[in-house]
Structure 1
Amino acid sequence: MSEDKFIKLIKLYPDYSNVFQAVLNWFLAHPKQKYISMDLFYSNKYAITKEQLNVAFYIMKESKVVKPVYRILDENGHKIGRDYEDVTEIPKHVSTMLGDKKSIDDVFVVNYYTLI
């Protein structure tokens, strides 16, 4: 992970520096984790608004610091199948680990981000 990319964003976009710093700190504290969700920052611990999160993650994506990854979760929050780089790649039906077919309408498509 390149901390330099985050430091550059912190300087370029000071209004969102708290988000960039929180994301950087999270990855530093969890070096084996490859994926992050904005949901991690929806708590009072970070004092970050949804607007700040959305804009900051958009900036990180456009600045090629992170890229989106779409993950399918069942009703219990378990991952189904592989991750997708583009939401249009997701099939209309997915198979669970037990081989059961589920309609995409009956599962959750969750947006995660991974470092580039």
Structure 2
Amino acid sequence: FVSRGYSGELKHLAWLIGEALDYPGYALIDVLQPCVTFNRSYAYDFYNERVYKLEEEPGYDPTDRTAAWEKAHEWGERIPIGIFYRGEPIPTYEEQIPALAAGPLVQQPLGPLQPAQIEALRAEMA
């Protein structure tokens, strides 16, 4: 999940953050935030004239890696914001470990360990 937001479009940025949080995997949001004190060349006026939402771009497909790469590098007269790429979710780490299906290991019973084995572990850790 790769996206870009703009602090001048707060509702859109909040929506992007929500989408990133809902994505089951790594999510990156590049946030354009003008610094009116030290970089007046790229102030709000600059961005307001140039940014456009990818979601409003006819035919844009966020599952197309090549198109995402091209849009991510688009800069100048037009600057895209929105979801550049949303891949097919793959199983999370927790979903891939069968022992974690019942919950965190610390909350699961020790299982078929014999008292002698438990005592040996305790002695080893002491």
TM-score (structure 1 length as normaliser) = 0.21
Q: Which has the higher strand share?
A: 1
Structure whose CA Rg is larger: 2
